[in-house]
Amino acid sequence: MEHVVIIGNGIAGITAARHIRKLSDKKITIISAETEYFFSRTALMYVYMGHMRWQDIEPYESWFWEKNRLELKKAYVKKVDTNNKTLFFKEGGSINYDKLVIASGSVTNTFGWEGLDLNGVQGLVNKQDLETLEKNAPNNKVCSHAVIIGGGLIGVEMAEMLRSRDIKVTMLVREKGFWANVLPKPEAEMISQHIISHGVNLKHRSNLDKIIGDADGNVKAVITKEGEEILCTIVGITTGVKPNISFLKSSKIETDRGILVNRKLETNIKDVYAIGDCAQQREPIGLRPEIEAVWYTGRMMGEALAQTICGNPFEYTPGNWFNSAKFFDIEYQTYGWVFSEERRKDYEKQFHWKCRSNLRAVTVSYHKETREFLGINTFGIRMRHEVFDRWLNEKRNVEYVIKNLSQANFDPEFFRRYEKEIANKFLSITQLATSE
């Protein structure tokens, strides 16, 4: 019986395992050094905030694994010998595979600042990080002040977590608005204001220079490149993530920033595949980055690879881009491509609408000439994935999308609707444009 070994029990690895099981009778082993069972990484924050217990963020009950004959092994793979198809564990021992799936995920990305090794400096990508945070910042007496470096999705989650325990938070963000390398300016500004309204001291245009510690090796303060010193007890490093591939250094598997894969998610070595955050496409797919560190893409790669492994080769061909997040109380969804100023294509034009409350906003992106609908960002208004996916496939124009926006509404019943307001603003702008 063929033995499929999966390194990593995150969404990519587990999705692959589930689908391989559905399609075949192969022996499947899932190895993780992090946790015994699969958990939702995106839900780490809720455990610290007391919304859920650890077991609540595990999507499957413990009987699930045995019932589906998915063998779990808690160990750290220190070496991959592809010649002999063998993995060696740090704890001792080894395991042989016929097919190897590497889904080892990400680690915190840092920029080599001074003081990274001090106690109290941490990221927030795995269970150990959560435990460290629980220890370093149990309350605002032990941890009076935290500094978070980086204005991205993990950064805002960490800020929300710490604020739930009334810990003072300062965030250093390189750009002029929150997540401004991804969000168009009006949205980035709105989110910045919202974060500030939750008591976070958000410093734009601020860069970390170094972290300084006390005599015991604990964090004492950070110093910014702008020359400011901020006293603090912990430092959250949330300047993105990078593939977790250090254990592959001695192997023959070809890597760059991530594990290099072709469209079938195959590495340079036969029978070795990589999926999820750790994989890097040799050629980017469409407008997607080569490394996609997103929950959904991890899942989609797992879905596609399972077919390939079970003898039904499928390329990883993701459909329309989509993503979601939540910034304190503001939900965010995106369908298709809406780019920030720095990444905007020259054919892309955007229409912005913002609610008076400053808690809702919509940006519709479209082609300047053809007026084809390219994508939408929506904040504080839920919208239907299915509808936008269809409109994108049908290449609808922007007028159609604006006119039919109510079809896409996914807010709970009785919620106030904003489609008319949005359409009126769009009309007034286009009329203005034509009369010019």
Partner 1 sequence: MSTVQRNMSLTGEPPKTINGQQKIASAIGLIGLLILGLALFNVDFPNKSVWLTTSLTAIGGGTIWFSIAAYSNKQEGIKNDGIYFKSLTSKGFWGWILGISLTLFYVILYWFPQYLGYVQGGNNTGVVALFDPLSRFLNGGPASQWFLYGTLYTLAILAFGIKFILKYRHNKYEKLRTYSVMFFQLGFAFIIPELMQRLNSETFSLPYYDLKNIWPLNYYNFEQYRIDDFISAGNIGIGLLIFGIASIFIITPILTYKYGKRWYCSWVCGCGGLAETAGDPFRHLSDKTQVAWKVERWVIHSVLVFVVLMTTAVVHSYLGEDTSKYWLTKDVFLISVGVFLSLIFAGVWIFKREELQKDARIGSIAYFAIIITLIALHFTTGKTLFLFDAETLRSTYGFLIGAVFSGVIGVGFYPIFGSRVWCRFGCPMAAILGFQQRLFSRFRITTNGGQCISCGNCSTYCEMGIDVRAYAQKGENIVRSSCVGCGICSAVCPRGVLKLENGPLEKRINPNEILLGNDLNLMNYVNK
Between vectors from CA 196 to CA 194 and to CA 201, what angle results, nearest 5°? Answer: 155
**Alpha carbons within 13 A on the beta-carbon side of 296:** 12
Instruction: Verify binding: residue 19, partner 1, rule CB under 8 A.
Output: yes
Token pair 């959560």 is at which residue? 130
Between vectors from CA 174 to CA 170 and to CA 177, what angle results, nearest 5°? Answer: 85
Give the interface segment with partner 1, choosing from 97-105, 216-224, 246-254, 292-300 (CB under 8 A). Answer: 292-300
From the CB of residue 137, how many other CB atoms can be counted at a distance below 10 Å?
A: 24
Shortest distance, CB of residue 12 to partner 1, whole angstroms?
13
Instruction: Verify binding: residue 313, partner 1, rule CB under 8 A.
Output: no
Task: Compute how many residues bind partner 1; rule: CB under 8 A.
Answer: 69
Shortest distance, CB of residue 212 to partner 1, whole angstroms?
27
Using CB under 8 A, which of 384, 399, 419, 421 touches partner 1? 384
- Residue 326, helix vs strand vs coil: strand
From the CB of residue 196, how many other CB atoms can be counted at a distance below 10 Å?
A: 13
**Pattern of binders to partner 1 over 330-349, x per CB under 8 A?**
-x-x----------------
CA–CA distances in Å: residue 420 to residues 26, 295, 397? 55, 33, 18
Q: Is 336 in contact with 376 (CB distance < 8 Å)?
A: yes
Query: Would you mind telling me the total number of residues written for the chain in this entry?
Result: 436
Shortest distance, CB of residue 119 to partner 1, whole angstroms?
18
Phi then psi for residue 60, to 5 deg, are -120, 145
Using CB under 8 A, which of 329, 341, 347, 368 touches partner 1? 329
Using CB under 8 A, which of 74, 78, 174, 198 touches partner 1? 198
Instruction: Verify binding: residue 406, partner 1, rule CB under 8 A.
Output: no
Enter the tokens of residue 411: 């807010």
Enter the tokens of residue 431: 């009329």
Enter the tokens of residue 416: 């106030």
Using CB under 8 A, which of 283, 412, 432, 436 touches partner 1? 412
Instruction: Verify binding: residue 311, partner 1, rule CB under 8 A.
Output: no
Shortest distance, CB of residue 369 to partner 1, whole angstroms?
26
From the CB of residue 347, how many other CB atoms can be counted at a distance below 10 Å?
A: 12
Instruction: Verify binding: residue 36, partner 1, rule CB under 8 A.
Output: no
**Pattern of binders to partner 1 over 111-150, x per CB under 8 A?**
-------------------xx--x---xxx----------
- The identity of residue 231, as a single letter, is L
Using CB under 8 A, which of 74, 220, 385, 403 touches partner 1? 385
Instruction: Verify binding: residue 56, partner 1, rule CB under 8 A.
Output: yes
Task: Compute the distance between CA of residue 139 and CA of residue 155 in angstroms, rounded to an integer.
Answer: 19
Give the interface segment with partner 1, choosing from 44-52, 116-124, 183-191, 210-218 (CB under 8 A). Answer: 44-52
Task: Compute the distance between CA of residue 190 and CA of residue 213 in angstroms, rounded to an integer.
Answer: 35
Shortest distance, CB of residue 45 to partner 1, whole angstroms?
9
Instruction: Verify binding: residue 317, partner 1, rule CB under 8 A.
Output: yes
User: Could you say which residues in the range 95-114 bind partner 1, by CB under 8 A?
Assistant: none
Give the interface segment with partner 1, choosing from 81-89, 230-238, 336-344, 378-386 (CB under 8 A). Answer: 378-386
Residues 6+ apart with CB under 8 A from 121: 115, 211, 219, 234, 235, 237
Bridge partners (DSSP) listed for residue 213 = 219
Using CB under 8 A, which of 300, 310, 376, 422 touches partner 1? 300
Instruction: Verify binding: residue 76, partner 1, rule CB under 8 A.
Output: no
Closest CA to 170 of 189, 155, 152: 155
Chain residues binding partner 1 by CB under 8 A are: 11, 19, 22, 40, 42-43, 46-59, 61, 63, 130-131, 134, 138-140, 164-166, 197-198, 295-296, 299-300, 303-304, 307, 314-320, 322, 324-326, 328-329, 331, 333, 382-386, 389, 393, 410-416
